[in-house]
Amino acid sequence: MVTWRGARSGTVVTVALAGTVLAGTVLTGTVLAGTSSGRDGTARPVADTGRAAAGPLSGKVIVIDPGHNGLNYRYPKVINRKVKAGPFKKACDTTGTSTASGYAEHAYTFDVATRLAALLRAKGATVRLTRPNDRGVGPCIDERAAIGNRAHADAAISIHADGAPASKRGFHVILPGYLKGYTGPIVAPSKRLGYDVRDAFRRGTGEPYANYVAKNGIDVRTDLGGLNMSKVPKVFIECGNMRNGTDAGRLKSASWRQGAAKALATGLARYLAR
């Protein structure tokens, strides 16, 4: 995120601009089987086998939403178009933020999402990502929510990293607030999900609660389309502040990202075991 109170996430499934089809367009509901590691430590998707392993999460469906996308910055007209975000409209998506050295939020979120997908599938879960790679545009915030809705997900999580002032640091989890006609049915289960994710992430990563927003690592919002349009339990997590030197060092570390994915998997499994 460019600012911690700004608009988030968004979409296209297939888009053409000036006669050119966007590369890496999003295929909704794509399932990733696992990961391999590149020489730079970045997790890379492995072809889907169509089968989940037998395990404690067998029969559970989890949707992972890696925030933003790698080509969003090239198509401002696409990501700035307004889409339904509850009883109001917001921009389809944003470009996200980056560290001072240029490590982009969209790359971070996809890397962690891919690692998390592999861990959850190993536990038997069916996992769907809202985008299959980091070379496309979107999808929009309403479509990101719709992917979880169509999958009848048992839980959904949107992964982000913040762009707050450099002197601030820490992580926080965002829960949907009550919005009549929209979030009522998911407020209570999303709260349980959010607290389980918060507790597991803090224990698993050692990252402190954010010291510039939220309280004890928990924020409640009604302005995020990705939550407002969800019909399944869903939370956002801002894993750290990319503009802070300490947080940036962690977010750029492949081993720390693997630990973050493990912590998120633990939190999701705990919620699903209730």
Q: How far apart are the first and last CA of the chain?
A: 32
- The length of the chain, given as a count of residues: 274
Radius of gyration of the chain (CA): 17
Q: Is 35 helix (H, G, I), strand (E, B) or coil?
A: strand
H helices then E strands: how many in the chain? 7, 12
Q: Is 20 helix (H, G, I), strand (E, B) or coil?
A: strand
The one catalytic residue among 105, 143, 207, 238 = 238
The CA–CA distances, whole Å, from 72 to 79, 91, 105, 259 equal: 7, 12, 12, 28
Beta-carbon contacts of 243 under 8 Å, excluding residues fewer than 6 positions away, are 97, 99, 100, 162, 163, 164, 165, 166
The CA-based angle 179-155-60, given to 5 degrees, is 150
Active site residue 143: no
Helix runs in the chain, H state only: 76-79, 105-122, 141-150, 184-205, 225-228, 245-251, 254-272
Identify the pLDDT of residue 53: 74
pLDDT, one tens digit for every residue, the chain (274 residues): 443 333 333 333 333 333 323 444 443 333 333 334 444 454 444 434 445 678 999 999 999 999 999 999 999 999 999 999 999 999 999 999 999 999 999 999 999 999 999 999 999 999 999 999 999 999 999 999 999 999 999 999 999 999 999 999 999 999 999 999 999 999 999 999 999 999 999 999 999 999 999 999 999 999 999 999 999 999 999 999 999 999 999 999 999 999 999 999 999 999 999 8
pTM for the model:
0.85
